[in-house]
Amino acid sequence: MLHYDYTVRLHELWNAAKLRYESGDRSVDDYFTRPELNDLASIGLNAMDVYDYVEDFCTRGEPDFGTFLAVNAVRRDYFLNVQKAVLSDHQINPDDLPSKEDSIEGIVWLPRILPKAIAKLRGELPAEIMYGCGGDRRFFKANNVHPADFLKAVWSYGSDQTSLILWLKARREKLALQA
C-alpha cells in the first residue's frame, strides 16, 4: 500500500511506462506487474491513469509529470477520504458525455468536462476517456485553470454549479486582464 512514498513510486511507474512507450510498446495491458497494479489501486489509480498521461506527454509534450502527479494527488485524496479506499465498480458511458461544442453560460466544453471530472474523482473513467486530454487542456488554458485545481473545485463545489461557474469566470477574467 502506497502512502509516505507514493509520489516517488508514481514517478518510478511514470518513468517505466515512458520508457516502454518510447520503445514502441503500446500494449497497456502488460505495462505493469501485479504488484505495481496493486500499488496503483491502493491510491485509487489504474494502468490507464498512467498510460494516458505518458502517451500524451510522449506525443504532445504535455501534460508533464508534475501535472500528472497533481491531478492524481487529488484523486488519491478523494479515494482515501471520501471513498474510504474502496474502488468504484461503475464506469461512465462515453456516449452519455455532452457534445464537445456544448457550453454553459458561454463556457465551451464545461458541460463535457464536468462529468469527466466527477468520474475522475470517483475512479469511474473508462479506458477510452482521459481527464486531461487535448480538449480538456484547451479548456484549462482558455479558462486559466490547472487541471488539478479544476478537479479540486469540482469536488469542493459539489452540486453548486453556480459557484463553480463564478469561480471559473473569475479565473477567465484574470487571464483577460493579463493579456
Mean pLDDT of 39-57: 97
Q: pLDDT category, 172, cuts 50, 70, 90?
A: confident
The full set of domain ranges for the chain reads: 1-87, 89-179
As a whole-number percent, the residues of the chain with pLDDT over 70 amount to: 97
Q: What is the 3-state secondary structure (H, E, C) of the chain?
A: CCCCCHHHHHHHHHHHHHHHHHCCCCCHHHCCCHHHHHHHHCCCCCHHHHHHHHHHHHHHCCCCHHHHHHHHHHHHHHHHHCCCCCCCCCCCCHHHCCCCCCEECCEECHHHHHHHHHHHHHCCCCCCCCCCCHHHHHHHHHCCCCHHHHHHHHHHHCCCHHHHHHHHHHHHHHHHHHC
pLDDT tens per residue across span 142-161? 999 999 999 999 999 999 99
Rounded Cα–Cα distance for residues 136 and 138 (Å):
5
Global pTM reads 0.94
pLDDT tens per residue across span 104-117? 999 999 999 999 99
What pLDDT does residue 176 have?
A: 66
Q: pLDDT category, 2, cuts 50, 70, 90?
A: low
Chain-wide mean pLDDT for the chain?
A: 94
